[in-house]
Structure 1
């Protein structure tokens, strides 16, 4: 069995899955069109952004032919595939290649649905969080992809409303890269870390205003906002943290929260009430802009609770997000189709 993950490597998920699959004896490669700013691992980079239009399309066609001849399973990510407009999907299906499409969020998110699940205080805030788009092309693309794929996957339960016929396979992390540290730090001040990929869409303005309020009350805290750091630089900061703040608007947590739980850190993040029952044993402190102050103060003043949530977080990640367990699920899925 030869597996190709392409053409996007969202949050490094394609490379994490491929690495775990290789450890389990499967030949798996990661192909990307362009390198991500966080320099996630890849096996093949076409560097399309550096090419002229003619060269770009020539490269894509030649690459498609090579991949067609080499791989049995095409595990595509983020709604993309090897040719523009997913033109390769009917060809792959015609020749009985196995195709999986793995959705990760903004590739399928639609405003008319998202507004029922996102946190917002007013319309202006909602427009910032989830931009108005013509949803018809998104829905048509989801339907077109479904015609040709053997199955479609979403990386979390909170994405099912956008693609209801998809299967849920949880996000994966390599636990070897996130050894348990715990939260029994000797820091003079409680270190609070927030690492937004997009400050407007993660509720960062509420985080900053709440931190200022706590500092004005003479709370013994240090706040670190992580922006434009490499993965390794950010990880060093996560290790020192006492409290992690993830996203405050979204339907559920992201990879950042999983990584920090693996380290044994307590995490604050918003989980929409419709999905809370999907996460059996999830030890995240459910937090939105309205209760951020109270939840932060609770953790700042209660070291034992921080320790407890950190231990539970590690256990949860080992059970639910271990890359080897997720890789096995995908191998079983490949074999079933």
Structure 2
């Protein structure tokens, strides 16, 4: 449905997006994830046709819509955008907002489509309300169905949850995903929040400094990050120091591990390996102990920051069930359950 081939975007001769390539199949939900100012919104605007590209190709349904010579106008791309502020018309009712892009339809068809879409998002009976009479989540759903009303082939969502309370976002992201999947819609979302990306997307692209670092599913981003930025940006974790010995074993304060030759390290190399909170298991019967330095209660779990014994104050994170309630300063038993060894040069 969507393919970007080596796309670059420049403003006043300054390149803000460099050599980005990815593709999205029909019915998939993709997400561009990254910190503010990384170029993800520029990519979304280029797909929509709101920005020109300086190099590469944007292809929708097999048709080039942007390259260095071709530029198809936004209204001819069969693409709809849900903006960050929803952009609902305040003086229009819900029904009038949804019908705005359906001028060529008969009144009967418009009404049928409005009824169908409001039922899809659980807002039946809200036709005559105005945007100010709706909650933030309800406004978001109206903005979504207004974008879906004319049957676009690609939906683009620009930070769709940014104006909502943080405790609502993940639940609404799951809800929105279910709606899009039911409608078999193809969509690209932009966000800086990984929880929203995980809840919404089939495939996620991590963007930083104008480059697409990794385009994959959430599991691969978390357990098999391709570089240190992705490893740091996705999930929690710490990097531990280690040395590669003559037997190609990784020697560290957490233990010794065999290292895959494909990493290309040599004996004597100094490296760092990633340890996630779920790699450290709280076990009262374990031989190794660590001191609780900080703790964050998270309901079902407590995230502990632990200082290892017999080290130069090296620390790890441990996600333990919250009935294991330990105070700062206590020593607790830990053991390692490291299934995915992620190693980078120090």
Q: Same fold (TM over 0.5)?
A: no
More helix by share: 1
Structure number with bigger Rg = 2
TM-score normalized by the length of structure 2? 0.28
TM-score normalized by the length of structure 1? 0.28
More strand by share: 2
